[in-house]
A and B are shown apart, each in its own frame.
Chain A
Amino acid sequence: MALSNVVETPASGFNFENVCRNVALEGLLQGGQTKAPKPMKTGTTIAGVLCKNGVVLGADTRATSGEVVADKMCAKIHYISPNIYCCGAGTAADTEKTTDLLSSNLTIFSMNSGRNPRVVMAVNILQDMLFRYRGQIGASLILGGVDCTGNHLYKVGPYGSIDNVPYLAMGSGDLAALGILEDRFKADMEMEEAKELVRDAIHSGIMSDLGSGNNIDICVITKQGVDYIRPYQESEYKDKRQRRYKYRPGTTSILTEKIVPLELEVVQETVQRMDTA
């Protein structure tokens, strides 16, 4: 229905109308037994290492929601463009949407210009976007890629800060992973050695941090292409399903059956030739 107190069309973008409602709900819930639902965070260990002919990115696969493991096979290494991949830590939805937006923008750019985007372009777009929202978008990202200027590895914080170093770790398990990286990183490593180093870093994050766990994913980006190994290593504590939990056909018995044929008669028939030239 047409409302007479609406004088302009609503602005697109974020809508802050529910802020008052949320504040009121918080007040109500504090006194009560229930708590507000926690957003799904990735409480992660992600790491990246620059090696001789490319970049190696690694991540664990656990997503937590409060104290519960929400997803045991979460994909934290996101596709940005054919030569750039991004690991995301922080709020799962935020990292997902931010990397999707970045990927779409870079696709439009590469269609317009006919080139593969450079890693600095991705980093700048991310920086502008995250700083605009003053850290309310909780996405900590590690971007790695190979472009015409070489191999690059960048870290972008939720407020838009960037860091450009040869080895990085982020997430709740980053201190554990950084310990391994600081100890064994050397400049210009071989590809296999770099993969082992990243695997060990993520492994130490999984062992020492509650928010990280399950399997390890590795993504190797070189000039020739991308090798996304998922999972690179499966956790030894994987559960095996005891039985099939799907319902067998015939579980629900049919009591009665009534068939009513729907009679249709052809009223009018027209043929239109399709021009396929």
Chain B
Amino acid sequence: MNTRGLRSQLKDSVPVTGMGPQVGAYGVQDTLRSGFSSVKNELLPSHALELSEKNFQLNQDKINFSNLRNIQGLHAPLKLQMEYRAARQIQRLPFLQSSHLALDTLKGNDESISFEDILNDPAQSEMMGEPHVMVEYKLGMM
């Protein structure tokens, strides 16, 4: 997938189900897909860890890359991020399960087990997205 819409690129690294206003095209609430909006429905109690877990991997990467830049110079994180970007493109269409093997090997996830591997495995998810909708979202056409 070489063409990526800007909006899906902003959101694609942190998929979170059901959080935040469902923004459709033109930046307003997508009434057709997610129903009427009300402030009361959006002020939901959240867990202490919800926000920090949402961005945990991103923040870790930022810290590691900035440390690497300070130690070895700009070329080190630049080369690594280029490899990550290339590896991230090796995947199936969004509604199918991709193994992310290259990306996992680069990040070192193939040598460690954490709660991401045990809990909430996307391959066992009970909800399936509509293929056309998911591809449109990914391409930024939605």
Q: Are B120 and A16 closer than 8 Å at their CB atoms?
A: no
Q: How far is the CA of A1 from the CA of B56 in the complex (A)?
A: 31
Q: Are A134 and B49 closer than 8 Å at their CB atoms?
A: yes
The answer to the question of B3 belonging to the interface, with a C-beta cut-off of 8 Å to chain A, is no
Which one of A4, A8, A9, A129 lies within 8 Å of B33 (CB-CB)?
A: A4
* Interface bits B2-30 vs A (CB < 8 Å: 1, else 0): 00000000011011111000100000000
Interface residues of B in 88-142 (CB under 8 A from A): 94-95, 111-122, 125, 127-131, 133-134, 137, 142
Which one of B46, B118, B128, B142 lies within 8 Å of A19 (CB-CB)?
A: B46
CB-CB < 8 A to B39: which residues of A?
none
Q: How far is the CA of A108 from the CA of B113 in the complex (A)?
A: 9
Binding site for B on A (CB under 8 A): 1-17, 19-20, 23, 101, 104-105, 108-109, 112, 129, 132-134, 136
A107 nearest CB neighbor, chain B only: B113
Q: Are A11 and B15 closer than 8 Å at their CB atoms?
A: yes
CB-CB < 8 A to B34: which residues of A?
5
The answer to the question of B44 belonging to the interface, with a C-beta cut-off of 8 Å to chain A, is yes
Q: Are A12 and B121 closer than 8 Å at their CB atoms?
A: yes
The answer to the question of B48 belonging to the interface, with a C-beta cut-off of 8 Å to chain A, is yes
CB-CB < 8 A to B50: which residues of A?
16, 19
Q: Are B45 and A14 closer than 8 Å at their CB atoms?
A: no
Q: Are A134 and B48 closer than 8 Å at their CB atoms?
A: yes
CB-CB < 8 A to B22: which residues of A?
5
**Given known A-B contacts A2-B128, A4-B133, A9-B15, A20 and B44 have beta carbons under 8 A apart:** yes
**Given known A-B contacts A132-B56, A134-B52, A8 and B12 have beta carbons under 8 A apart:** yes
Q: Are A5 and B33 closer than 8 Å at their CB atoms?
A: yes
Q: Are A14 and B112 closer than 8 Å at their CB atoms?
A: no
7 intermolecular pairs with C-beta atoms under 8 Å apart: A3-B127, A4-B130, A6-B133, A9-B125, A12-B122, A14-B49, A16-B50
Q: Which A-B residue pairs are the 4 nearest by beta carbons?
A: A6-B129, A8-B15, A7-B137, A13-B116
The answer to the question of B61 belonging to the interface, with a C-beta cut-off of 8 Å to chain A, is no
Q: Are A8 and B137 closer than 8 Å at their CB atoms?
A: yes
Q: Are A108 and B15 closer than 8 Å at their CB atoms?
A: no
CB-CB < 8 A to A14: which residues of B?
49, 53, 115, 119-120
The answer to the question of B75 belonging to the interface, with a C-beta cut-off of 8 Å to chain A, is no
CB-CB < 8 A to B120: which residues of A?
10-15
A112 nearest CB neighbor, chain B only: B111
CB-CB < 8 A to B111: which residues of A?
108-109, 112
Q: Are B119 and A12 closer than 8 Å at their CB atoms?
A: yes
Q: How far is the CA of A136 from the CA of B131 in the complex (A)?
A: 37
**Distance from A104 Cβ to chain B, minimum over Cβ atoms (Å):** 5
CB-CB < 8 A to B142: which residues of A?
7
Q: How far is the CA of A5 from the CA of B30 in the complex (A)?
A: 10
Q: How far is the CA of A2 from the CA of B94 in the complex (A)?
A: 13
Q: How far is the CA of A104 from the CA of B52 in the complex (A)?
A: 25
The answer to the question of B47 belonging to the interface, with a C-beta cut-off of 8 Å to chain A, is yes
**Distance from B3 Cβ to chain A, minimum over Cβ atoms (Å):** 17
CB-CB < 8 A to A134: which residues of B?
48-49, 52
B111 nearest CB neighbor, chain A only: A108
CB-CB < 8 A to B137: which residues of A?
7-8
Which one of A6, A17, A104 lies within 8 Å of B113 (CB-CB)?
A: A104
CB-CB < 8 A to B52: which residues of A?
134
Q: How far is the CA of A4 from the CA of B116 in the complex (A)?
A: 25
Q: Are A3 and B129 closer than 8 Å at their CB atoms?
A: yes
